[in-house]
Structures are given as C-alpha cells and as structure tokens.
Amino acid sequence: MEVKLRLSPTFRLPKLQNASVPIRMGDTIRDVCRQVGLNEKSARVFVVSGFRVPADHELKNGDEIVVIPHVGGG
C-alpha cells in the first residue's frame, strides 16, 4: 500500500515534493511524517483527497496527501 505525498516547495525537501510513500494498514499522516522525516508541527494544513484533515487521520491505499506549511509575513 502507498500514498502520494505533495509538499510545498517552501519545505525545501525536493525529494518529497511529489513522492510515493509506502504505508501499512492503520498508518496516519503523523506516521507518514515521521517516516519521511518531516516535522508535522511545521505544517499548517493537511489535505487528503481534497478534504482538510487532522494529523491523526487514518490513510488508505492511494490517498494523496497535500501538506501546506505555516505562512508568515508582516
């Protein structure tokens, strides 16, 4: 089983911007973040298959995860 991970270029992790990540049954977004070395607290929003979800959202085979970072400015 695997999911597609889409990261904003803001994360400066080019290998993960469009990556396929293997998952096991019951894995969550938090598990995927740990697996790829992404600090989940650096993300503002997680979107799975078009819907905003929390980090403890359980994933299914073929899900697409979009990770949107915190945005600052002034």
| Residue type (1 letter), 16 | L
What pLDDT digit, counting tens, does each position of 5-62 carry?
A: 888 777 777 777 788 999 999 999 999 999 988 888 888 899 998 999 999 999 999 9
Query: Which domains does the chain show, CATH number per domain?
Result: 2-69 (3.10.20.30)
Q: Are strands 18-22 and 51-53 parallel, antiparallel or unpaired?
A: unpaired
The model carries a pTM of 0.83
**What is the reported pLDDT for 73?**
62
CB 4 within 8 A of CB 63: yes
